[in-house]
Structure 1
Amino acid sequence: MIAALLLLGVASAGAQEQAKPAAEAIVQTAPADNDGGRLICKTEKETGSRVKRNKVCKTKQEWDDMRLNTNKQLNEYSKQTPANPLPSS
């Protein structure tokens, strides 16, 4: 009986790993003269749901600005020193 419970635990853990969120990009072009005006729609899984998805449409320029802003924030965060650093040995 214990072995059966262990097998069920391993099987459910494997199923959860396969259900990782992945963004699916659907590219639609809008009538625009410049490349930054191209409309790009992405379907993203909603956090906490296995089924529900949200469609987010932005221009190429907006996606690029959001990506650059996120990278900038991550770089700034990684440069910060921790509040209570561990003592060096």
Structure 2
Amino acid sequence: MVLNKTELTDKINLSLNELRPHLVADGGDMELVDITDEGIVQVRLLGACSDCSMSMMTIKAGLEEAVKRVAPEIIAVEAVN
């Protein structure tokens, strides 16, 4: 799979920015780490999100859904340390 990483990065950061106010309100945040050649977005959870029991739900139900809406070529979103 050949991905235009610059264009994808812009789209994914827009999705992150849409969710960011909700994360910051709870004392957390996340940042884009990488987009793999396989189409997996890697994010780092920050602040309260890094050890929150709901963080996987936030990634799967929130961020992954938002990312796939703007970049359907993305297969998944995963958290990395």
Which TM-score band (shorter chain)? under 0.3
Q: Kindly name which structure, 1 or 2, has the bigger radius of gyration based on alpha carbons.
A: 1
Q: 1 or 2, which has the higher helix percentage?
A: 2
User: What TM-score do the two structures reach when normalised by structure 2?
Assistant: 0.28
Higher relative contact order (CA 8 A, sep 6+): 2
